[in-house]
Structure 1
Amino acid sequence: MVRFFGIIVGLGFVSALIFSIIGSLPFEAAERTAVEDFHQKPRTLALASDGAFGKFDRKQLQRGLQVYNEVCSACHSLRLVSFRDIAALGYNEGQVKSFAAAHEVPSIDPDTGEPATRPGLPKDAFPSPYPNETAARAANNNALPPDLSLITKAREGGAPYVYSLLTGFRNPETYRNEKGEALPADSKPGTGLHFNPWFANLNLAMAPPLTSEGQVTYGPGNPKPTVDQMAKDVSAFLVWTAEPKLENRRAVGWGALGFLLIFTVLTYLSYRQIWADKKH
């Protein structure tokens, strides 16, 4: 019986060895698809909030809020962010109230019980542009515009992906990949779709949202509102919506590391003091 189990175990090891050898053999690669040949990795995007010591650029976040409010909010919701949250961007109480009141939020008529709208209050979340998912799909070629509250956390690539997508729309007829190859006919966008090599399957229902310089008017003292600058600003803003307490979290983390470092030094000095006159 022992010999039998020994043979079984030996066969298992041999099988594993054979499979590992076969797996390492250089088989001919499968034919690459157009998505693999034309899909691009996110472009580099440097933000003030990057890195272990990064801090939000409030001016940039305010510009990003403006881009979202004037462009992106036409299709995308921001349901996890309340109007009062923008006080963290440098707005005072009066400005927050004015910003909220400029938006209409869903309500109920107290006299008739019918759906209605009212001016927003600081406690309200940013309203959705559509009453429900069916209406959202009907207005977007059956595609559902995602909520942007956590988009830089939900999408691989984070803010650089968002920035690349916003600036990545190309003409499928003239676009060439790094090898100089043209896009195959069966990969070109169909009706209602738009070619963007930074999107997962190359074609998406969203039309280019940022189309020209000055589409959003920035106030004095701000950079020129080029498409590239507006894309950077709204990407930075969406980093904040996804993690508004980023600076506090980092401050607590560095404080904890400092405490542990000091505690370690004091513990070592105590050890040396206690055992200094002890013979080994």
Structure 2
Amino acid sequence: MEMVSFNGWQECIRFQNELVDVVISTQFGPRILRYGFYDEENEFAELEEERGKTGGDKWRMYGGHRLWHAPEADPRTYYPDNEPLEWRDMGDGVRLIQPVERTTGIQKEMEIRLSPVGTHVRVIHRLYNRSVWEVRLAPWALSVMLPGGTAILPLPPRLAHTDPAALLPVNSLALWPYTDLSDSRLIWGRQYILVRQDPLIKIAQKIGAFIPGGWCAYARRGHLFIKRFAVESGALYPDLGCNVEVFTNERFLELETLGPLQTIPPQGFIEHVEDWYLFRDVPTPHNDAQVERHVLTRIVETVV
């Protein structure tokens, strides 16, 4: 672990193993600014116009990976996380502790741990209620990915209409007012939904779904970024039951996972865990068959 400067920000924490490195800000956040193969391209988007900026009362995208609380609401969700953090060395990672949000009473915390070998990173997201009233929220983990890739969302196993187990629906799909189902960036397969990021299409697009399989992924230029997360069967998730959401515009794609809605008592907290993995030499899929040929073998390797 070492202190480094990154994109104009000072006092960033960098830790690595033989394959990957992670860079985290201590001047704002909690935010993870970089995750990628050592000495190779950052898997996360970096926004040129916000490099080196800190402080102020305006929320900034920054890029990288962040923690929000759902359901989305303005101004609650967009509280500016621009203040310095408390941080603690955990040996194999760090714990980042945000000052209590003055207008919400919520305090965000991230614990980031890097495995000594391989590419596995565990990110534990926590939301603490520091107010005197209970609040109802869901943890929401958002990764801003580099442009030019494709998000992969697995659907539950398909069954024949005559199968006795096929009588009831098995997952949901959420659409926003600006969702366009005819958009060429959406590829509707039988077993997978693919969402392409296209730098030439400036119109924003978003979909959400309940993904029982507990994983989603982003493929770009031979690299495959995988998120794994727990799924609570029967729990109430935000946004009409979503535990995965994808937003894209001409600059980036956000790969997002959500925990269930929970009531947090005063001084209580809720937690959401993501496990990240990164693979080389994985072609970007364009259909179900290519996902099953190139991606599923990597998904199996992440099962613990």
- Which structure: larger Rg? 1
The higher relative CO (CA closer than 8 Å, separation ≥ 6) is in: 1
Would the TM-score normalized by the shorter structure come out above 0.5? no
Q: Which structure shows the bigger proportion of residues in strand conformation?
A: 2
Q: Which structure shows the bigger proportion of residues in helix conformation?
A: 1
TM-score band, normalised by shorter chain:
under 0.3
